[in-house]
Amino acid sequence: MTERAFTISGLAATVAGNQILNGVDLEIRPGEVHAVMGPNGAGKSTLSHVIMGKPGYEATAGSVTVDGVDLLSLPTWQRAQAGLFLAMQYPTEVPGVSLDDMLSNSFQAAGKSVDGLAEALTAEADRLAFGREFLERALNVDMSGGERKRNETLQLTVLKPKYAILDELDSGLDIDALRVVSRRVEAATNEDGLGVLVITHYNRLLSELKPDQVHVLAGGRIAASGGPELAVELEESGYAGYAESDAA
Amino acid sequence: MNERFSADVLDGAAGLTARPGRAEAAAAALTAELPTTETEEWRYSPISEPDFVELLDGLQPALTAPSTDAVARVREASDAVLGRFESIAATVLVVDGFVVDIDVAPGWAAKGLSVEVEENRWINELPVEPTKFDYLHQAFSPGPLVIRSIGQVAVTEPVVVLTHHDRPSTLSCPHLVVEVAEAGELTVIEFQSSAPEAGVQLPITELTANNASRLRYTVVQENGDDHIQIGRQLSSAGGQAALTSGVAAFGGRYLRLRTDSRLVGRGATASLAAAYYGDDQQVHDFRTFQHHEARDTKSDLLFKGTQDDSSGSIYTGLIHIHPDGAGTNAFQTNRNIKLSDDAWAWSVPNLEIENNEVHCSHASTVSPVDDDQRFYLHARGVPPTAADRLIVAGFYDEVLSRIPSEAARGRVRELINTKLDRRSRNQPAEG
């Protein structure tokens, strides 16, 4: 039996013909929180996009598996159905499409019942201090940056994936919202065994959502890994050292 | 066209009352050529293509009122539509251009809602450059259906008009006139349908909102597959009047609508919206004119369409600010989603400004389903066909919100879903 894990090994990727990732290795087990930090342009967002299969991002080597299922051979929607969730840095506006419509379709594609979906949405919205009025709106339309991030978190908690990538979830959130969202994600790691890959530029999120491991992405690969103390260290010294080692 | 359209046939036409100009118009129609795509206003239109010409050649005009059997059949079919409304001020049935039934709620009749056929009222003013179709309408249209509010009554329940083209290979010329008295209010919802066989309909709709009145008109068109409709909508809004026009076009082989919206009084506003969806070989052809003839007027046009299979659409629009149109706000937006490589869409917005104190904008797009929207839904586990379906249905929300009747909105949503169901069935299975 395959060991349960979200495994990225030797992942290389190009965007518009440019090599951005040069062999990324990560392994996240159920219930763990891993943080990937790095300077601008290190390939943090490319990592999340190529794993989810965004058009224009091409994996050229390596593999990504979720509990043994090879993701790179699947279309995006099946990667999601395999148990992976991506909370996007810039959630897209989808006019005229409600949260309920989207999630119902996702549940139906998984062969799951949609009974109780509306109740789950209101319960989770309350838990995230996300106004119920937002549940009626079209996806991300007329929402502030912070509201969109709560909306992403809401979807994560209702879809209940095995693993989640949180791409710059902290951008656009004020400190109170950051705390609420972080606690909710942390609860999911404890209650549901959710494994989390947090992509962030700053330590701010990590003071709320405690990582088990911190990785530095520089030059398209994992340049260093360590415990939570690494994030603190990076906050003080910056990424300059990694950028140099990358150039060498 | 042929001898079946000559002025002689008018003599024996039981359904068409004698009126000045009929015979002359019939004679002019017979000799007028079909419009060609060389005329700006008919550019891109397929009307002069051989299969259309052949169809037009085989037509005959609807000269008599439909049979009682036909009326009974149409009435029965209309129950489903009428059942959507919680309350109705009046119901009218029009078959092959002939008004066959009028039912006005007595309360509204007493308050000042008038619904009747006015034999002596017809469009005696032809457009500056009349086409064959304008002459045909003038020659062969029965007396128009005139819906008006008298006095300052606000008719808070809708008038529902069911317009059906029944007889195959005939030409019918319905004529609807809606007029709201000063400070009055009136809502008219029209449902157009036809038999599946080929026929041609030339509807003319005149909407007049007098000073400080409110006129809301919506037409939901679900004609049969081979039906051809070439229509005109003429609207006029007086001082401080608010006019709303909504068009939902889903059926038929070819649907053309020219709308001339005139804002003639200071502070008049017009909201003009359309939702259309073509598949198979359908062609939608819209020509819109927004005329700002008075100060401080506002028009806001939003036409949204989808083209699938080898269907096509044409949108050309003109905002015309007349010299007296200072303080005008005019907007014109046409957006199209093209779902297949073989589908086509022309979108040509235009401005003609004769006064500089104005604010105008126009926008037009023809594009496939948005990749980022797709990716967002796919990343949530929604399969591609379902995702496109959600996005396309959602695309119309902005137009639907402008249709002032939940019953009409509900029907339009169903029509969109019917199109999308057909599309889903034609998509390859998703593994």
CB < 8 Å to B373, chain A = 92-94
Q: What is the pLDDT of residue B121?
A: 75
Q: Is B197 on the interface with A (CB under 8 A)?
A: no
**Is there a single domain that holds both residue B263 and residue B341?**
yes
**Is there a single domain that holds both residue B312 and residue B423?**
no
**B315 Cβ contact list (under 8 Å, min separation 6):** B286, B288, B303, B305, B334, B336, B345, B346, B347, B348, B349, B364
For chain A, 248 residues long, give each residue's pLDDT as a single digit of tens. Answer: 568 999 999 999 999 999 999 999 999 999 999 999 988 888 999 999 999 999 999 999 999 999 999 999 999 999 999 999 999 999 999 999 999 999 999 999 999 999 999 999 999 999 999 999 999 999 999 999 999 999 999 999 999 999 999 999 888 888 888 999 999 999 999 999 999 999 998 888 888 899 999 999 999 999 999 999 999 888 888 888 786 444 33
SS3 state of residue A100? helix
Taking CB atoms and an 8 Å limit, are A77 and B382 in contact across chains?
yes
Identity (one letter) of the amino acid at B202?
Answer: L
Q: Is B55 on the interface with A (CB under 8 A)?
A: no
- What's this model's pTM, rounded to 2 decimal places? 0.94
Taking CB atoms and an 8 Å limit, are A92 and B373 in contact across chains?
yes
Q: What is the pLDDT of residue A36?
A: 96
Shortest CA distance from B399: residue in chain A: A96
**For residue B95, how far is the Cα from the chain centroid?**
17
Query: So where are chain A's domains?
Result: 6-247
- Write down the CATH superfamily of domain A6-247: P-loop containing nucleotide triphosphate hydrolases (3.40.50.300)
Which residues 336-375 on chain B approach chain A with CB closer than 8 angstroms? 371-373, 375
Q: Is B396 on the interface with A (CB under 8 A)?
A: yes
**Is there a single domain that holds both residue B325 and residue B391?**
no
Give the residue from B319, B247, B256, B313 showing the smallest Cα distance to B289. Answer: B319
Q: What is the pLDDT of residue A248?
A: 33
Q: Which domain holds residue B222?
A: 3-369
CA distance A203 to chain B (A): 27
CB < 8 Å to B391, chain A = 94, 97
Final residue of a domain: which of B369, B393, B410?
B369
**A10 Cβ contact list (under 8 Å, min separation 6):** A23, A24, A25, A61, A62, A63
**Is there a single domain that holds both residue B296 and residue B278?**
yes
Q: Is B379 on the interface with A (CB under 8 A)?
A: yes
Q: What is the pLDDT of residue B122?
A: 66
**Is there a single domain that holds both residue B416 and residue B364?**
no
Taking CB atoms and an 8 Å limit, are A94 and B394 in contact across chains?
yes
**Is there a single domain that holds both residue B273 and residue B418?**
no
Taking CB atoms and an 8 Å limit, are B397 and A95 in contact across chains?
yes
Final residue of a domain: which of B369, B396, B412?
B369
Report the residue from B372, B383, B394 with minimal CB separation from A138: B394
Q: Is B103 on the interface with A (CB under 8 A)?
A: no
Final residue of a domain: which of B369, B388, B421?
B369
B44 Rama sector, left if φ>0, alpha if ψ -120 to 50, beta otherwise: left
**Is there a single domain that holds both residue B179 and residue B317?**
yes
Shortest CA distance from B397: residue in chain A: A96
Residues on chain A bordering chain B, Cβ-to-Cβ distance under 8 angstroms: 52-55, 75-77, 79-81, 85-86, 88, 91-97, 101-103, 105-106, 108-110, 138-139, 155, 159
CB < 8 Å to A85, chain B = 379-380
The structural domain count of chain B equals 2
Complex-level ipTM: 0.96
Q: What is the pLDDT of residue A207?
A: 85
Q: What is the pLDDT of residue A176?
A: 86
**Is there a single domain that holds both residue B24 and residue B172?**
yes
**Is there a single domain that holds both residue B107 and residue B192?**
yes
Q: What is the pLDDT of residue B366?
A: 97
Q: Is B383 on the interface with A (CB under 8 A)?
A: yes
**Is there a single domain that holds both residue B304 and residue B412?**
no
Helices (H), chain A: 44-52, 76-81, 99-109, 117-127, 145-159, 175-191, 228-237, 240-247
Segments in chain B below pLDDT 70: 1, 122-125, 431
**Is there a single domain that holds both residue B195 and residue B56?**
yes
- Helices and strands counted in chain A (H then E): 8, 12
CA distance A3 to chain B (A): 24
Rounded distance between C-alpha atoms, residue B344 and residue B347, angstroms: 10
> pLDDT, tens digit, for every residue of B359-388?
999 999 999 999 999 999 999 999 999 999
Count Cα atoms within 13 angstroms, Cβ side, for A105.
23
**Is there a single domain that holds both residue B321 and residue B389?**
no
SS3 state of residue B266? coil
